[in-house]
Structures are given as C-alpha cells and as structure tokens.
A and B are shown apart, each in its own frame.
Chain A
C-alpha cells in the first residue's frame, strides 16, 4: 500500500461528523499524514439560520487539541457549496488527499438511501478510498 500523506475529512458540525473527525485525527496521528478538515457552507449558513461558520474553526481546534494533533499538521477549509462536492474536490490538487473520511450520516435523515446521504454520494463518486465512520 502507498504511504498515506494526506487525509481529508468532512465536518458539518453534527455529532456524526465529530466522530468522523476524531477517527481521521487518529489515522493522521498514526500515519503521520496531514489532515484537511473540510466544511461546506451551503446557502443557508449566510443567513445565520443554520450552522454558524465561525464555530467551525473553534470546534475543530478543540477536537484536534483533544486528539493530540499539532496545529501544524492540520488545516481547515470552508468551501462555498455542498458537502459532497467539497470533500470530493479534496482528492484533487492542491489537497491531493489519498483517503476521504466522512461520517455515516450528516444532515440527511435517512441512512441507507442515496438521498440525504453525503457518505453514499462520496463513496459513489470518489476516485480514492473512502472511510465511512459509523456514528457512536
């Protein structure tokens, strides 16, 4: 297997995505890979009626500190757009992630169906291996 040097993980602020983030942090820790935390902002976030984008960096920072990941080893990106496209884009330059990590379900409510499932979408379209982390 090729050495993994770059991992990307989706983070939407949900409990499931936090579990995925912790798992990805563990993998980064063991492999020495760099970690890219991707947050897709969507349309509604601008209105303040959904997840607050200012919360993303703080939440990520505290989780990374708890997982013992040095700030130099990860960075976060906030993408205008949807979660699936944002994560898939990380498999291309400049991030060039060799592994994508995603929670088993985020905002969608119906696990096991295409609709509402970022994880299934990512699995279907990704050109690199995808890890789907089950919720706790």
Chain B
C-alpha cells in the first residue's frame, strides 16, 4: 500500500528557546517513516498553504487577521505555553494545508494511507484562539473541507492531551465525530466523559479520560468498547487521526505509559473504522521525545501498511482498565440527560 506524506520541513523558524515544541520533531517523525523502507510506495504530496477560505471553515476571520498581524509584527509569547515568530504564519498555514493536499492525493489515487508530518500542531487551537502550542487547527481544517464535499468524518485523537480545539469546533456538527482518549486531569482540563456534543450532534463527541500511569490495555479497551461502537453508529466515510505520541512512557510531557507497539495496535484498530481504501490519514500532534516519536510513528504506519516494523512489546497492567466501565456509564447518563432536556425544551 502507498503512503502519502506531506512534510512541512522548512519549519525551522517556528521555534522559541528551550521550548519542547521545536524543530526536529518533524525530522524525528519522518525518520520513523524512513525506517519502514517503503521505496516507491512512499509518495510526497504537493505542498500548499491553506487558503483563507479553507481556514474560515473552522477559524474566525478576526482571529486569522490578528494572528497574521501578530506574526508579521515579530511575534512573541501568545500565552504561557504558546509562541509565534515572524515566520509562524507561513509555517502554520503550510501545516494547515498539508492535510488538504494529502487528502486530495488520496482521493486522486483512490488508495493509500496519509501521514501529515507538520508543526506547529493543531488540536488545541480554538475557533478564535491559539493555545497549547497550537496556532491553526490542522486536522479540523481538513475535516471541514471533507464535510464541505459531503463526507462524514471521524476524528480519532490519541494525543495524551484532550483536543479541546477540535472538540469546540465540531461540538455541534453532525457530520463530524470527535473521539479522544487522554490523560486526565491534565492540560487543557476539558475532556470529561460527560462531554458528549451539542444539540445537533449529541453523542458525536466521545471522551475517554485515563488516569496517570495507564498502559496500552486501557487504550485498547477504550477504542474497542467506547469509541468503536460510537464510530460504527456514526458511519464515517473518512477517518482522520490526531496522532500525538506524547502518551509514550518516555515522553516528558505527561504520565501515560504507552509503548511504541501500542500505537501500532491503536492504528490497526482505527484502520478498521474506514469505509474503503484511501480514506485514512494520520496527523502529527504532540510527541516530544525524539526516539519515542520516531519509533511510534514507524509502529503506527507499519500497522496499517503491513510494513513489518517491530519495536518494543505492547504495554499492559497500568491503572485505567477498570475505569472504562465508569466512562461508559457517565457517557450514557449524559446523553440521556441532554436528550430529556432537549425534549423538554421542544415541548415548552
């Protein structure tokens, strides 16, 4: 099978001293791709910046104006976590466009798997605010473009942090399912099991919070027992993965304990959500330990390409496995309670 990649490799000017979201992350991820020795099965998609019209599907115009002006005014710290430089606007719009060109290439071929190796990451970026290292919401820009073409998109987010930006953008969008598993409590603080989507998309937001120390078995169970049934009921025509690799046990950013093999397991499961060939793409989100990032990318893509990568063994035995039952209960209770609430509103 073909792997379509789009690598935003001229990202060196988006950096801040000692900041972990730094140049080198894309190279580490692409080293993981190189480890698969795909030869002619590795295809590089053309590069283009996302247009204003493409960005406006998910971001407020005023925010885009401000962000562009802020960058070209020299940039600086946006908040305690997030920075921009003079070049960040052009790099962020290239990153937001990278997914669009990968999807276009997959559509042209009607086969293959996509991988978007771009930074800054996107899943914390809100409609009108940069946050959590993220300026523009890359995966959301691509999902919104697909919805605009009449597709139904499932976004599976396995970054260790909750993708609050993606959740906010599609909260009430019935053609997008957003499912996240993440450490909790942890930045950004959102992502409780009771967050299930807005009135027009009730149940199409799925959150599985996991405790510190959770291992691969808990994530497998989360996918199989909470996320998969919701995805099946939703019936996506496309699957996009917010693939952060900061839940790896070696990553300094958080305290989940996944191994690189666990990512392969998750990827294999997610690939079964897809309706047909050429309708699956992975987007780099977090992942700050270069060795773990490289191996986890290789494991993820190998699982869907059948490329025979073997890394460390899968992980088991951490806390969180039993907690999945509580997640199911809380999620169902929230959906029922909102359903009753909306019925009441409808009657009055």
Taking Cβ atoms with an 8 Å cutoff, the residues of A that contact B are: 12, 40-47, 49-51, 79-86, 106-110, 113-116, 118, 121
Give the chain B neighbours of A82 by CB distance below 8 A: 79-81, 131-132, 188
Q: List 28 A-B contacts (CB under 8 A).
A: A12-B80, A41-B187, A42-B79, A42-B80, A42-B187, A43-B161, A43-B187, A44-B19, A46-B187, A47-B252, A49-B18, A79-B189, A81-B187, A82-B80, A82-B81, A82-B131, A82-B132, A83-B80, A85-B189, A107-B77, A107-B80, A108-B77, A109-B76, A110-B73, A113-B66, A113-B69, A115-B70, A116-B79
**Which residues of chain B (63-90) have a CB below 8 Å from chain A?**
63, 66-67, 69-70, 73, 76-81, 84
Q: Which residues of A contact B130 (CB under 8 A)?
A: 115
Are A114 and B66 in contact, CB atoms less than 8 angstroms apart? yes
In chain A, what residue has the closest Cβ to B286? A43
Given A43-B81, A115-B70, A121-B129, 4 new contacts (CB under 8 A): A84-B79, A106-B80, A107-B79, A109-B77
Number of A-B pairs, beta carbon distance below 8 Å: 86
Q: A109 — which chain B residues lie within 8 A by C-beta?
A: 76-77
A40 touches B80 (CB 8 A): yes
Task: Tell whether, in the assembled complex, residue B132 and residue A115 are in contact, meaning their CB atoms are under 8 Å apart.
Answer: no
Contacts of A46 in B (CB 8 A): 187, 253-254
Known contacts A43-B132, A47-B20, A114-B63; is-contact A81 B189 (Cβ 8 Å): yes
Instruction: Kindly state the separation between the CA atoms of A21 and B324 in the bound complex, as whole angstroms.
Output: 41
* Set of chain B residues within 8 Å of A86, measured between Cβ atoms: 189
By the criterion CB–CB under 8 Å, are A80 and B186 in contact? Answer: yes
B218 to chain A, nearest CB (A): 20
Distance between Cα atoms of A41 and B20 in the complex (Å): 16
Distance between Cα atoms of A112 and B130 in the complex (Å): 17
> Which chain B residues border A79 with CB–CB below 8 Å?
189
- Chain B residues with CB under 8 A of A45: 80
Complex Cα distance, B81 from A110, in Å, reads 15
Query: What residues of chain A lie closer than 8 Å to B81, measured between beta carbons?
Result: 42-44, 50, 82
Given A43-B132, A47-B20, A116 and B78 contact (CB-CB distance below 8 Å): yes
Chain A CB count within 10 A is highest, among B20, B130, B131, B187, for B187
Q: List A contacts of B190 (CB < 8 A).
A: 81
- In the complex, which residue of chain B has the Cβ closest to the Cβ of A13? B80
- Contacts of B321 on A, CB cut-off 8 Å? none
Cβ of A14 to closest chain B Cβ, rounded Å: 9
- The contact of B77 among A40, A47, A116, A121, by CB within 8 Å, is A116
CB distance from B307 to the nearest CB of A (A): 32
Contact flags B179-193 to A (C-beta < 8 A → 1, else 0): 000000111111000
Given known A46-B253, A46-B254, A121-B129, contact A51–B70 (CB-CB < 8 A): no
Q: How far is the CA of A47 from the CA of B254 in the complex (A)?
A: 9
Residues of A within 8 Å of B132, CB to CB, are 42-43, 82
Per the bound structure, the CA–CA distance linking A81 and B66 in Å amounts to 22
Partner of B80 from A50, A85, A113 at Cβ < 8 Å: A50
CB distance from A113 to the nearest CB of B (A): 6
B170: min CB distance to chain A, Å: 18
Q: Among the listed B67, B80, B161, B252, which residue makes an inter-chain contact with A115, where contact means beta carbons less than 8 Å apart?
A: B67
